[in-house]
Chains A and B, each alone.
Chain A
Amino acid sequence: MTDQTSPPSSPPSSILCSHRTLCVARVILGVASLALFLFLWDALVRWRDYPTFILPAPAVVWERFLRTLADGSLLTHTSTTLMEILGGLLLGVTFATLLGYLLAKSPLLDQLVSPYVVALQAFPVVALAPLLVIWIHHPMIRTMLIAALVLFFPVLVNIIVGLRSVEPELVAMMRSLQANRWQNFVKLEAPSALPVFLGALKIGATLAVIGAVIGEFVGSDRGLGFLINLAQGLLDTPLLFVALFTLVVIALGLYGLVSLLEYHLLAWKRAK
């Protein structure tokens, strides 16, 4: 298998660094860019003298963060959202992988099912979410399903592309070696599709965050989506920012975890 057979994924070195000096430089750069962002944000608030309800200063958001952390509500809402994200991710990626494999292998099934899959993608989940409140009574399961729906299609497409990108020469070689279906999958298809699968997982991880928030926007009384709703209802802009930044941290964390996984699972590619 060559680099041409597997679709490119983001280089693992973009998240992880192999050289110590490079690592330190990246950390310093990261901290500096964050400090610059906070400085510019604070300067903007001071320059325009914005009231807190329009744009709170970083210190005000930090103070609100500490208060929300101290009363335990941030932890409660974050853990709920995290569970829903992970549940949705598991559900969506599992089904997308299974269906993706079947569609990649069977052109007939692809022709039959794909229009429905595309139609499902065309459905705005935001419009569907209130109906799901009626159909699925358990808020957490409902939110997981919404998260799974949001990430399903992009992950499915990536899985299909990954499986179809196996080099025909390698397929012919496996056939000449009389490999059975399982051997084909384990020795050829799975390794070939792995980079794209991991790329799909990255997409799924970030989309699951959106899905969970959509799910919590309708008919939920906990989670960061609910906290955003609550903050909007109370006109509490600092609380809104606390919830948003927590979501950003979750998205970055999940992305980082998948990158770490990618780094280890694709070590063989770097060794080549």
Chain B
Amino acid sequence: MSFSFDLYVQRRSWLHAVDPRVKLAFVFLGTVLMLAFKNLFIMLLSLAITHLIISSAGVPGHKVRWVWKTMLPINIMIPLLWVIFYPEGPTVLFQFWFLKVTALSFLRGIALALRLDAIAFICFTWLFTTDQTSLVRSLVKLGLPFEWGLVLAIGLRYIPTFYGLYTVVSEAQQARALDLTRGSFFTRVRSYLPILVAMLISALRTSEQLARAMESRALGLPGVQRTCLRDIRFRPADYAYTALLIALFSALLTLRFQFGLGTHPLYLF
């Protein structure tokens, strides 16, 4: 049985109906906000809100779990590296040889990992609920040349495909007795080579086929003005969402830079 790794979830929900440009603004402003804050609770709140939004749009639980699974290595590495390289603050949790673990750097590490999770989920509210056609359409409407929009959409579209490809290739090599668990760190890194090289060859083959397939459907024909079957248009609700988005963004940014909201990992002010 083959498994589909498409990001887009086909549903009819309020979020699917929102103009993709509004969702793009949400991604942009949301990311800026997350980068402005460093507070643990703000990250958690943002994650709670995006989870609520995603589930209200009918995105199934296994997609959400997939995001968390993908983010797991980052969630482990960031606090670990932060603790090792940026010891700060007076409270020392424990000290061993050159390693000094302080409470503040530990909290900061976690807050930073959660910040990336929060940004990831902000992006996925957009990617889970916007199909490729409207995604390209929205980018073109924002002034991007059609080919650029297409390149971006294809890039996004192929992230999960390559994730799937990795799984298959790694299975195929394990079936040839490739052991990924044996030996020292460097032996193990080396044993990923058969997977990476096979993936690279497959990826090149895929991209060549894709390019030919698109060319054979007359993509890039010079002097042709593209028409579109389905156009996107702002509805009254979209204006309301945009206004709400800008209002929230300005309010939160004012709180951050005028009153110092959310600069400490633990305390709000």
A, B bound: no
